[in-house]
Chains A and B, each alone.
Chain A
Amino acid sequence: MKQVLAILALLVLAFLFAGLVPMASKPGNGAVGDYYATHGIADNRGSNLVTSIVVNYRGLDTLGEVTVLFLSVMGVGFILRRREGTPKYSPVPASPILNTGANLLFGSILLLGAYIFVHGHLTPGGGFQGGSVIASGVLLLILARRDRELSHDLLAWLESLSGFGYALVGLVGLVVAGSFLANKGVLPLGTWNRLFSAGVIPIIYILIGLKVGAELSTLLDIMIREPAPEGGGH
């Protein structure tokens, strides 16, 4: 009964969606989009307009986004928290070949990630992409060196300080330029299409990159190693 109703509802929804396709695929940009496209360079001097939007124009969104990630790491850790005394998972160590390969690869993955977020204002990619690349490197490390613990201290410091730094940069904007997360008037905007340009945008994106990398790594580590509290709630 429920199934039939569900399928019926989906069919009707499909019909509704079909009606929406032409409207959604009309060409043209939104008014705000046009503004960003036209004035984005003048405002921020960052070649990558998406980065300008993400880090500057809609910076509050991004601060929120970073918070969501932090929150979900906290949440996952909170949900999968261990009972006192239960040990962490300690799976069998991986083969030495994987181990060595991982060590070699890890450095270059880290570099790639860093490159991505450092050039966030110039080329595609940025803090989030770079951060997740770093996390994939860490994943490799976790999988390869299962017997070893990740350096939680380092991750925690990185995570906390980069997040706090982000909020701090925003507050600097408030104090110096009169509005939270401001770019103009905080640092010189520099020249278009140069590495050292776009004011605080690269700084923020580096902080985001570090934070996202640390967070995603922690997330993976928790999900892999924290045993579910058995009968949590029985």
Chain B
Amino acid sequence: MIYLDVFLCVLTVICAVAAMVTRKLVAAAILAGVVSLIVSYLFVRMKAPDVAMTEAAIGAALSTVIFLIAIRRTEEEER
């Protein structure tokens, strides 16, 4: 289990970096959502189920949705 956690931690950081690097804004928003999702799993592992639920519902879902809305209403590529 510990190795899974370590792997997920590394994956989170990679996702975050990818979200920062990619020029496609939609991809960036979804990657950020993935970061939140993994973090919410980490919250479960850290014995914080309340926070995990909140992070999943708000950080991963709603935040990503409003980012996507904003992207749709502006532009999808970073120039």
Q: Which of B48, B50, B62, B73 has the most CB of A within 10 A?
A: B50
Interface flag for B54 (CB, 8 Å): yes
Report the interface size for chain A: residues with CB under 8 A from the other chain. Answer: 20
Which one of B2-10, B11-19, B25-33, B63-71 contacts A? B63-71
Q: A20-34: which residues lie under 8 A (CB-CB) from chain B?
A: none
> Given A132-B58, A133-B57, A136-B61, are A219 and B66 neighbors across the interface (CB < 8 Å)?
yes
Distance in angstroms from A14 CB to nearest chain B CB is 12
The answer for the CA separation of A7 and B79 in the assembled complex, in Å, is: 21
Interface flag for B53 (CB, 8 Å): yes
> Given A51-B50, A129-B54, are A223 and B69 neighbors across the interface (CB < 8 Å)?
yes
**Interface residues on chain B, size class:** 10 to 19
Kindly count the residue-residue contacts between A and B in the assembled complex, taking CB atoms under 8 Å apart.
43
A129 touches B57 (CB 8 A): yes
By a CB distance below 8 angstroms, the chain B residues around A116 are 53
The listed residue (A129, A133, A136, A228) touching B50 by CB distance below 8 A is: A129
Q: A165-203: which residues lie under 8 A (CB-CB) from chain B?
A: none
> Given A48-B50, A50-B50, A51-B50, are A128 and B58 neighbors across the interface (CB < 8 Å)?
yes
By a CB distance below 8 angstroms, the chain A residues around B69 are 220, 223-224
Q: A109-134: which residues lie under 8 A (CB-CB) from chain B?
A: 116, 124-126, 128-129, 132-133
> Given A136-B61, A228-B73, are A128 and B54 neighbors across the interface (CB < 8 Å)?
yes
Interface flag for A216 (CB, 8 Å): yes
Interface flag for A135 (CB, 8 Å): yes
Interface flag for A66 (CB, 8 Å): no
The listed residue (B48, B54, B62) touching A136 by CB distance below 8 A is: B62
The answer for the CA separation of A50 and B62 in the assembled complex, in Å, is: 22
B50 touches A124 (CB 8 A): yes
A125 touches B62 (CB 8 A): no
By a CB distance below 8 angstroms, the chain A residues around B66 are 219-220, 223
The 9 A-B residue pairs with the shortest CB-CB distance, nearest first, are A124-B49, A132-B57, A129-B53, A50-B50, A124-B50, A125-B53, A223-B69, A132-B58, A129-B54
